[in-house]
Amino acid sequence: MVKAEVITIGDEILFGQITDTNTQWISTELTNIGIRTIRKSSVGDDEKAILEILAEAESRADVILITGGLGPTKDDITKKTLCTYFDTELSINEEALAFITAFFEKRGRPMTELNRLQAAVPNNCTYIANRWGTAPGMWFERNGKVFISMPGVPFEMKNLMTHTLLPKLQAFFETPIIYHKMLRTIGIGESFLAERIADWEDNLPPHIKLAYLPNFGQVRLRLTATGTDLEQLKKETQAEVEKVLPLIDVNVFGYDNDEIETVVGRILKERGQTLSTAESCTGGYTSHLITKVSGSSAYFVGGIISYSNEIKIAELGVKPSTLAEFGAVSEQTVVEMAEGVRQRLNSTYGIAASGIAGPDGGTDEKPVGTIWIASAGPDGTVTQKLQLGKFREQNIQYTSVYLLNLLRKQLLGL
């Protein structure tokens, strides 16, 4: 099996000033073309460290993918270091220079000397045109191994990979077939899930592996089948899915790249129904999850973020007496919020959340993490109380996911 190492270069990653999302995306894409990532590494903008990791990676892997260190500024040294590693020199690539010049003309921005130098690449590499930015992609070959250098800007890297480098890698290497099938579960902990499906897991055929991937109240079950015949692998994996489903079916909300927001969106769209939101403690995050899905305007009409009680009353029609008697964080209030937004924005369903996200604002009776959620529809309103932790952002994300799952269960009559 073709083995890959992914290397990110930059002090900003080592020092922790930015989140590296590139390597996750890269290894996912590599997996999908049957290339196995065996290691990921990050080193700083330091020539010695870069030369060392390149040599190590070359000794272990067949393809080495490098991101970062290609910026126009002084602290980016990847190109220079690649020249040292491959014992060659930089020279201006005319195609790159023409593109960069056009890039700046198109945007009506002056081109600096630093930008011009971005058109320089090592003499022994194949220049990979970057139509999304000013840093070039580079492809090196040595002793049947491939080295790829890409800019660290995620959307530039992703476009280079998708349009040029992944097809080029598929053409270069002969790879076995790997087939992944993911079951997305929600509302059951990893160890309870494991206990419930232990017998099934123990009886999986040796070429099908199972992994548990827990994240925010969800656990993804990933089946990975390896072989030579894709159709056969799909059949065998599907057979295993059908064996395990009866054990966990209420918890399975989707497959593969399904997210809870895409699943509920699909159902609403199919039914020609609409959705609105009334958010207090989640402060817009639930609406963001819904609307980051392209095409969500087909079923999402809008929402009201009612951070203050005045707005709960004026915009959602929550009764002052309800707030006085039961408080903003109560089943009664969240029901009136959900039904209020559904009526006010004239949608088929209305969902609402009200709670104490923390870290402050808790009481003995209602500690931080006490959250009520509700989903109102044509056949009535369902509610759920969540007792979460002390971490504000985590509470916001959990609540939005559980709220969308509450809607999913109402939509499906579960």
Contact set for a copy of itself, span 228-247 (CB under 8 A): none
Q: Give the single-character DSSP code of 187.
A: S
Min. distance of Cβ 88 from a copy of itself in angstroms?
A: 26
The maximal CA–CA distance of the chain, rounded, in angstroms, is: 78
User: Taking the complex as a whole, how short is the minimal distance between the CB of residue 413 and a copy of itself, in angstroms?
Assistant: 27
Which of 55, 60, 62, 44 is closest to 82 using CA atoms?
Answer: 55
227 binds a copy of itself (CB under 8 A): no
Q: How many residues belong to the site for a copy of itself (CB under 8 A)?
A: 97
Question: How many Å apart are CA 223 and CA 243, to the nearest integer?
Answer: 13
Q: Which of 94, 105, 229, 393 binds a copy of itself (CB under 8 A)?
A: 393
Q: Which of residues 362-391 bind a copy of itself (CB under 8 A)?
A: 389, 391
Does residue 59 touch a copy of itself according to CB under 8 A? no
Q: Does 310 bind a copy of itself (CB under 8 A)?
A: yes
Choose one: 89-97, 232-240, 292-300, 406-414; the region binding a copy of itself (CB under 8 A).
292-300
- For 68, the enclosing helix (H) or strand (E) is none
Shortest Å, Cβ 122 to a copy of itself: 21
Residues numbered 318-357 forming contacts with a copy of itself, rule: CB under 8 A = 345-346
**Residues 175-214 vs a copy of itself: string with x where CB under 8 A?**
-----x-x-------xxx-xx-----x--------xxxxx
Determine, following the binding rule CB under 8 A, whether residue 279 of this chain makes contact with a copy of itself.
yes
Phi, psi of 356 (to 5 degrees): -105, 100
- Interface pick for a copy of itself out of 2, 9, 53, 160 (rule CB under 8 A): 53
- 3-state SS class at 235: helix
Q: Does 105 bind a copy of itself (CB under 8 A)?
A: no
Tell the burial category of 185 from Cβ atoms under 10 Å away from its Cβ (0-12, 13-18, 19+): buried
305 part of the interface to a copy of itself, by CB under 8 A: yes
Sign of the alpha-carbon torsion through 262, 263, 265, 269: positive
* Chosen residue from 181, 220, 366, 408 binding a copy of itself by CB under 8 A: 220
* Burial (CB count <10 Å: 0-12, 13-18, 19+), residue 97: middle
Nearest distance, CB of residue 252 and a copy of itself, angstroms: 17
- Between the alpha carbon of residue 113 and those of residues 72, 78, 123, 290, the distances in Å are 9, 18, 20, 44
Of the candidate residues 2, 9, 23, 349, the single one contacting a copy of itself (CB under 8 A): 23
Candidate ranges 79-87, 229-237, 258-266, 281-289; the one touching a copy of itself (CB under 8 A):
281-289
Give the whole-angstrom CA distance, residue 214 versus residue 381.
30
Does 75 help bind a copy of itself (rule: CB under 8 A)?
A: yes
Contacts of 172 (CB under 8 A, 6+ apart): 146
